[in-house]
Structure 1
Amino acid sequence: MQDVQSRTDKRGIAIQHVGVKNVHLPFLIKTKEGGFQSVLARIRFTVELPEEYKGTHMSRFLEILMPWSQKPLAEPELEAMLREALKRLDAQAAEVEIAFKYFIGKRAPVSARESLLDYDCCFTGRMRRGEPLCFTLGVEVPFTSLCPCSREISDYGAHNQRSLCRVHVRFHAGEECIYIEDLAALVEQKGSAPIYPLLKRADEKYVTEEAYDHPKFVEDILRDVVLALRDLPGIAHFSVACENFESIHNHNAYASHEETVSP
């Protein structure tokens, strides 16, 4: 049968990203404990298309992805996946983004009741022929924040809200990336108080008072996260976006920052 995708295109436009998006597959994500967690992943998988080619071979992306859905996945596996894409699709550059819900066990502070908290995470891998893998880990971490101004001016109480910090980190080539569990814990500590799926009355009292004792603006949280990320060994680049879902406004408080860290 004729291979229409491989026909010559004369418009002189190379396409930076072409491939498949919103592919849903089960994947196994490596855990800090050495096992794996089964997740449902949403995938975007693309390659760079030279200007002389009319199109790429979409089916080959799925052929590459399918076998990996049965193997525990982390940075080395993404590298192997991208190398296969460069070879099979005759491309100079390839990129894959795998987004998924990841669950981490939480123990309530007083009752010690166990529960699972879900985190939105993503692995992003980029590779160009002859160059090392560029791997980025992304995690969205929820926590509680309490307004310092509200606490200062009120005779009793202070308004607080659920907050979300979106962090993406990349490490220098040859350096091991941080585990999801460790990155989530590092960011969570910078809020006013952690969030727990399951709380009894004694736990709720503890968390409420913990937040009251650690008031923070969105700017405070962002700066504290930035300082913590700068201290990570081997980190090359990071971005942070903090958002407070305000309880006394119909808008959110927001702050973001990114920087490259020298070796």
Structure 2
Amino acid sequence: MQDVQSRGDVRGIAIQRVGIKDAHLPFLIKTKDGGFQQVLACIRFTVALPSEYKGTHMSRFLEILMPWSQKPVAEPEIDKMLAEALDHLDAKSAEVELSFKYFVDKTAPVSGKKSVLDLDCCFTGRKSRGGELEFQLGVDVPFTSLCPCSKEISQYGAHNQRSVARIQLRFKSGVDCIYIEDLAALIEKQGSSPIYPLLKREDEKFVTEAAYENPKFVEDILRDVVLNLRELEGLAWFSVECENYESIHNHSAFAAHEETLV
């Protein structure tokens, strides 16, 4: 049969990214304990298309993804996946993004009740022919924040809200990326208090009082996150967005920062 995609094109426009988007597949994500967690991944998988080709072969993206969806995946597997794309699609560069919900274990601070907290996570890999993998980890970490101004000026109480820090990280070549579990634990400590899916009354009292004793503006949280990320060995670049879903306003408080480390 005719291979229409491989026909020539004379318009002289190279396409930087072409492929599939919003493909959904079950994937196995490696965990810190050496096991894996099954997730539902939303995938964008693309390659660069030279100007002389009419189109890419869309079916080959799924042909590459299907076997990898059956194996535990982290940074090394993303590298191999992209190498296959470069080879099978005869491309100069390839990129894949896996977005998924990942669950971390949580223990209530007083009752010790066990639960799991869902985190929005993303693996992004970029690779050029003959080059090294550029791997990026994204994790959204929720927590509680309590307003220092409200505490200072109020006769009693202080307004608080659920907040989130959206973290993106890239490590230097040869340095392993941090585990999702460790990054989440590090980031949630920078808020006024962690959050827990399951709390009994004694736990609720504990976290309410803990947040009251640790008031932070969105600027405070962001700066504390930045200081802690700077301490991660081998980190090459990071970006942070902090958002407080204000309880006394119909808008959020927001702060953002990014750095390239030498």
Q: Secondary structure of 1:11's partner?
A: coil
Letter of the 1:15 partner, please give it. I
Counterpart secondary structure, 1:22: strand
Give 1:198 shift. 0.2
How do 1:35-46 residues align onto structure 2 when only pairs under 5 Å count? 35-46=35-46
The corresponding residue for 2:101 is 101
1:228-243 maps to which residues of 2 (within 5 A)? Answer: 228-243=228-243
1:84 maps to which residue? 84
Q: Distance in 2 between matches of 1:38 and 1:87?
A: 28
RMSD: 0.4
In structure 1, what is the Cα distance between the partners aligned to 2:10 and 2:66?
A: 34
Aligned position for 1:150: 150
Q: Structure 2 CA distance, aligned partners of 1:89 and 1:65?
A: 13
Deviations 1:236-262 (A, max 9, x none): 000000000000000000000111000
What code does the residue aligned with 1:242 have? C
Q: In structure 2, what is the equivalent of residue 136 of structure 1?
A: 136
Within 5 Å, which residues of 2 pair with 1:1-263? Answer: 1-262=1-262
Q: Deviations over 1:197-235 (max 9, x none)?
A: 000000000000000000000000000000100110000
Aligned letter for 2:51? Answer: E
Q: Find the residue that maps to 2:169 and give its secondary structure.
A: strand
> In structure 1, what is the Cα distance between the partners aligned to 2:127 and 2:241?
26
Runs (4+) of structure 1 moved beyond 4 Å?
A: none
SS at match of 1:209: helix
- Alpha-carbon distance, 1:81 to partner: 0.2
1:258 & 1:14 partners in 2: Cα distance? 30
Q: What SS is found at the alignment partner of 1:258?
A: strand
Aligned-partner residue type, residue 87 of structure 2: K
Shift of 1:146: 0.2
| Counterpart amino acid of residue 261 in structure 2 | V
TM-score by length of 1: 0.99
Report Cα offsets for 1:91-144 as digits up to 9, x if no partner. Answer: 000000000000001000000000010000000000001110000000000000
SS of aligned partner of 2:63: helix
Query: 1:194 offset after TM fit, Å?
Result: 0.3
**Structure 2 CA distance, aligned partners of 1:152 and 1:53?**
65
**Unpaired stretches in structure 2, ≥5 consecutive residues:** none
Q: 2 CA distance for matches of 1:226 and 1:13?
A: 41
Identity of aligned residues (%): 74
TM-score (norm 2): 1.00
| Alpha-carbon distance in structure 1 between the residues aligned to 2:205 and 2:193 | 12
In 2, Cα distance between equivalents of 1:50 and 1:254: 40
Q: Distance in 2 between matches of 1:129 and 1:211?
A: 50
